[in-house]
Amino acid sequence: MFTPIKNVKVYEQVVDQIKKMVEIGELKKGDKLPSERELVSELNVSRSSIREALRSLEIIGLIECKRGEGNFIRKNFENNLFEPLHIIFMLEKSTSKDVMEVRQIIETESAALASKNIKNKDISILEDMLLKLKNCNDEKKSIDLDKKFHYKIAEMSNNFILLSIMNACSGLIDLNIKGVRDNIILSSDKKEELVKQHEKIFLALKNKDSSKAYSEMRKHMKFSNDNLLL
């Protein structure tokens, strides 16, 4: 199953072997790894090298450690990019405009994909969100509904990578949506326009009109960007 290791940077080679086993399907989501003692024996390396390898695999999000149970290949990878993207955002001193541009790329495409995959239950969920958004007078709840509306569309895209990126950017997107709405609620006309835009996106999705869903989401992103930069 494993190949003995006798070179420098031993822990990196342990990491590479486990990653390779995942790649070729020997290890699958949810599989339990051998114990540290078993890995030491099979790989012919020190326990410290095994522990360093396991820590590295946990940091990159490939495995998870369950206390008292052992180490497992992760089942859920949706939020694996969350921390790295936040660190990059802070280190690179990215702006709200950067986040808005990323949203435009992701969400226009997710709307187009969602229109092709939308089901009756999805239509009901979005319609309920929209109705609550139209009748909500509590801005904190409105922000939450707005966010859920956008994340639901990404979920409906049925594209795991797209949804993972959206989830990874969630903290940044949440702040972005709040920033947009903080400016918009100062004007009743703009607040009404914001609701209308969500309605148009919903109707395009309901009608399974891919190009319309794309264009309406793009208009919404432009409107949001314009108001974010006020």
Instruction: Give CA–CA dist 105/207, Å, rounded.
Output: 22
Confidence of residue 29 (pLDDT cuts 50, 70, 90): confident
Query: What pTM, to 2 d.p., does this model score?
Result: 0.66
pLDDT of residue 69: 92
Given the structure tokens 């390396």, which residue do they identify? 45
| CATH number for the domain formed by residue range(s) 82-228 | 1.20.120.530
**Own/partner pairs for 52-58, CB < 8 Å, 24+ apart?**
52/11, 53/11, 53/12, 53/14, 53/15, 53/18, 56/11, 56/12, 56/15, 57/15, 57/18, 57/19
Are 10-73 and 82-228 equal in CATH topology?
A: no
Contacts of 82 (CB under 8 A, 6+ apart): 167, 168, 170, 171
Q: pLDDT per residue over 56-113, tens digit each?
A: 888 777 888 888 899 998 886 655 555 556 556 655 666 777 878 888 999 999 999 9
Q: Is the pLDDT of residue 207 over 60?
A: yes
CATH domain 10-73 topology: Arc Repressor Mutant, subunit A (1.10.10)
Structural domain spans, the chain: 10-73, 82-228
Confidence of residue 215 (pLDDT cuts 50, 70, 90): very high
Q: pLDDT per residue over 145-192, tens digit each?
A: 999 999 999 999 999 888 878 877 776 777 778 877 877 776 667 888
